[in-house]
Amino acid sequence: MITPKVPHIIYGGDYNPEQWPQSVWAEDVRLMRAANVNLVSVGIFSWAKLEPQPDEYDFGWLDRLLDLLHENGIMANLATATASPPPWLARLYPESLPVTKDGVVLHPGARQHYCPSSAAYRERAAGLVGRIAERYKDHPVLAMWHVNNEYGCHVSECYCDASAAHFRRWLENRYGDLERLNEAWGTAFWSQRYGRWDEILPPRSAPTFANPTQQLDFRRFSSDALLGLYEMEREILRGATPDVPVTTNFMGFFKPADYWKWAGREDVVSDDSYPDPSDPEAHVLAAMNRDLMRSLGGGNSWVLMEQTTVRVNWRRRNAPKEPGRMRLWSLQAVARGADGIMFFQWRQSKAGAEKFHSAMVPHVRPEDSRSWAEVKRLGEDLTKLDGLSGTRGEARTAVLIDWDNWWALELDSKPSADVRMIEGLYFLYRPLFEANVPVDFAHPGSDLSSYDLVIAPNLYLVTDEAAENVRSFVEDGGTLLMSFFSGIVDENDHVRLGGYPAPFKDLLGLTIEDFVPLAEGATGCLATEEGASFSCDLWADLVHLRGAEALTTFADGFYGGMPAVTRNAYGGGSAYYLGTRPDAGYMGVLLERVCAEAGVGAPSEAPPGVEVVRRRSTEASYLFVLNHGEEAADVELEGPTVDLLSGAGRDGTLRLEPFGAAVLREW
């Protein structure tokens, strides 16, 4: 259960009543009830209405609105309203505006126009949050706090003088003295040695590549600067309402914020997710995001805080979700641990930049709209899933992700700029998704003992502790699959000498002499032990075996005959290594072998295109069967069950229509 105030699966959306005359509110709550909405996020962008002039507050409208919700049994995820400062903040404190790397000031007129290190923003935001918390702490509709909105979405870093000073304080705290900083940043290179703290700047636009560790530390700092703002608000809210859960909405695999660190400071993880309906693999990417959210919260249930009913407004061409897709993708989120399904937004705006973004209540009359019918249907579906509360996923496979590694991997001046974190991760996630193997994400330094298989995509930056953690996982009997360009640098982005990949040579039973980045569009040939051939691209490692066996070798290039994919028995387990990026055909074969060796697999058989996910507790087990295909699909059931969505008993063959879904109670 996400919040004791809503002892059900949460259903609702962002509600922005300040955009509408009060005469519309009564219609809003009537429709909310018709759709089984039980929670709305209120006030996210209402700072200018709540505090029209500095220290002049107007809470009357919000009082009336919350009372109206209360009368109608709808709870509030009350926002702190700090996401978009009113114009007066910039007028009174122009230094609160963010500045880009190139020195461009970002002005008011859109949203999120504040520097994360601005004292004025911080003080004014704290003042507002304190008043909101004080006023509504005992209001019966208060179910959850929604802090700010998508921290860092538009402005994730600022290069102004206040940010520079804040960055220096952060660095002093990290390094203590300048000598240590000079050492960590490798400033002997290009005469970059710092003699005084005030010589240090954020990595503003410079003649050429900025110092990599400076860039890496600025990423760490920028995530922490935003996190500091979140924590400032959270402390105020905690002080007023120690028992009301606090969240801030994430954005999936969002590079600027280290969500492992953030999630640990939230009571509930929540996410905004806008898969592109015109992308045939959108549901796979969506599944990957949902698995991340569940993992960030340590396996606890999370809330899908925002998605669209039909269309967004911010792509070049905003393809709609066809009928049925919104329901299917929502149920996918529930399958992967969400106990709340919400939308941006409740009522489609009449004015402003998002007027063509779909909402639960469309511009046209709801009764004339298929999307409203779908909104009502989903609301009803979710009322049937209360039993899921307390059930969890059952992954025994973990994919490693570490924001430090992501940041470092994608800095400039690498053998190939095309080795990208999310692509590398997706490349390994996708075949697991297709095989319906349940997957968690994990930090490389975290406890891996509950997993049988660990996948380490491009683990370029690794600390000594994390390297040891991965090694001991295999020693203790685990199976590891690691992809190229792993174990290359330490936490300062300094190369680990002694032969690549220094911390993993023994574990993998090999050394790498050098890397061969493949040109754009170029492919190579792979030959397997069994005589089959496949293709590969992007990268080739020059691998020398030191105990590992070659499963596959390169069949062309000056390195033809050298190992491309290897396996090493180590301790009680085994470590596979991918020294290139093979094609999907090969990856399917390899992952089948790796999963079989690790003893991990799908919860049940399913035809291609059908996703099968289990959630269970000690009392109950539920199997989600989701057909993402455009054809009907037949799934063979292992025994008689009941489909909670249709209420029908099922046995033998379960036929799912295109975009059809079933939630089967197994026991």
Which residues are designated catalytic? 150, 306
- Interaction between residue 81 and ligand GAL (CB under 6 A): no
Is cis: bond before 202, omega within 30 of 0? no
Query: How many CA atoms lie less than 13 Å away from 576 in the CB half-sphere?
Result: 24
Q: Which stretch in 116-124, 145-153, 458-466, 630-638 sits in contact with ligand GAL by CB under 6 A?
A: 145-153
Bridge partners (DSSP) of residue 541 are: 515
Q: With H, G, I as helix, E, B as strand and everything else as coil, classify residue 338.
A: strand
Among 51, 271, 306, 491, binds ligand GAL (CB under 6 A): 306
Kindly tell me which of 48 and 435 has the beta carbon lying closer to ligand GAL.
48
Q: How many residues does the chain have?
A: 667
- Interaction between residue 15 and ligand GAL (CB under 6 A): no
Residues between 94 and 123 that touch ligand GAL (CB under 6 A):
none
Nearest to 120 by CA among 94, 99, 100, 149: 94
Least distance to ligand GAL, CB of residue 138, Å = 28
Q: Which stretch in 146-154, 513-521, 545-553, 648-656 sits in contact with ligand GAL by CB under 6 A?
A: 146-154
553 Cβ contact list (under 8 Å, min separation 6): 526, 527, 560, 561, 562, 563, 564
Kindly tell me which of 270 and 528 has the beta carbon lying closer to ligand GAL.
270
Q: Which stretch in 27-35, 147-155, 471-479, 556-564 sits in contact with ligand GAL by CB under 6 A?
A: 147-155
Alpha-carbon distance of 79 to 568, in angstroms, equals 52
- For 511, phi then psi, to 5°, come to -130, 155
Kindly tell me which of 288 and 312 has the beta carbon lying closer to ligand GAL.
312
Kindly tell me which of 168 and 357 has the beta carbon lying closer to ligand GAL.
357
Strands 573-578 and 10-15: unpaired
Long-range Cβ pairs for the range 500-507 (8 Å, 24+)? 500/541, 503/462, 503/464, 503/467, 503/471, 504/467, 504/470, 504/471, 504/575, 505/546, 506/471, 506/546, 506/570, 507/470, 507/471, 507/474, 507/480, 507/568, 507/570, 507/575
Q: Which stretch in 148-156, 260-268, 425-433, 593-601 sits in contact with ligand GAL by CB under 6 A?
A: 148-156
The tokens describing 495, both together, are 């190369």
Bridge partners (DSSP) of residue 613 are: 624
Kindly tell me which of 296 and 662 has the beta carbon lying closer to ligand GAL.
296
Kindly tell me which of 114 and 576 has the beta carbon lying closer to ligand GAL.
114
CA distances from 87 to 81, 95, 107, 272, 351 (A): 14, 13, 9, 26, 18
Kindly tell me which of 86 and 524 has the beta carbon lying closer to ligand GAL.
86
Binding mask 400-419 for ligand GAL (x = CB under 6 A): --------------------
Least distance to ligand GAL, CB of residue 122, Å = 21
Alpha-carbon distance of 667 to 665, in angstroms, equals 6
In sequence order, what E strands does 448-548 have?
453-456, 479-483, 510-517, 523-528, 533-545
Alpha-carbon distance of 194 to 189, in angstroms, equals 12
Kindly tell me which of 289 and 528 has the beta carbon lying closer to ligand GAL.
289
User: Which helix (H) or strand (E) is 612 found in, with range?
Assistant: strand 610-616
| Binding residues with ligand GAL: total (CB under 6 A) | 10
Least distance to ligand GAL, CB of residue 655, Å = 35
Residues between 312 and 331 that touch ligand GAL (CB under 6 A):
312
Least distance to ligand GAL, CB of residue 357, Å = 5
Among 150, 233, 381, 491, binds ligand GAL (CB under 6 A): 150
Among 28, 217, 272, 493, binds ligand GAL (CB under 6 A): 272
Among 170, 185, 260, 274, binds ligand GAL (CB under 6 A): 274
Nearest to 411 by CA among 251, 220, 539, 578: 220
Q: How many CB atoms lie within 10 A of CB 521?
A: 6
- Interaction between residue 622 and ligand GAL (CB under 6 A): no
Alpha-carbon distance of 154 to 132, in angstroms, equals 25
Alpha-carbon distance of 522 to 518, in angstroms, equals 6
Least distance to ligand GAL, CB of residue 61, Å = 20
Least distance to ligand GAL, CB of residue 149, Å = 5
Least distance to ligand GAL, CB of residue 72, Å = 24
- Interaction between residue 149 and ligand GAL (CB under 6 A): yes
Q: Which stretch in 149-157, 435-443, 456-464, 625-633 sits in contact with ligand GAL by CB under 6 A?
A: 149-157
Number of helical (H) and strand (E) elements in the chain, helices listed first:
17, 27
- Interaction between residue 153 and ligand GAL (CB under 6 A): yes
Question: Please, what is the angle between helix 22-34 and helix 60-71, to 10°?
Answer: 30
Kindly tell me which of 172 and 354 has the beta carbon lying closer to ligand GAL.
354
Bridge partners (DSSP) of residue 635 are: 654
Least distance to ligand GAL, CB of residue 355, Å = 12
Kindly tell me which of 338 and 482 has the beta carbon lying closer to ligand GAL.
338
Least distance to ligand GAL, CB of residue 358, Å = 9
Least distance to ligand GAL, CB of residue 39, Å = 16
Residues between 344 and 383 that touch ligand GAL (CB under 6 A):
344, 354, 357
Q: Which residues bind ligand GAL (CB under 6 A)?
A: 149-150, 153, 272, 274, 306, 312, 344, 354, 357
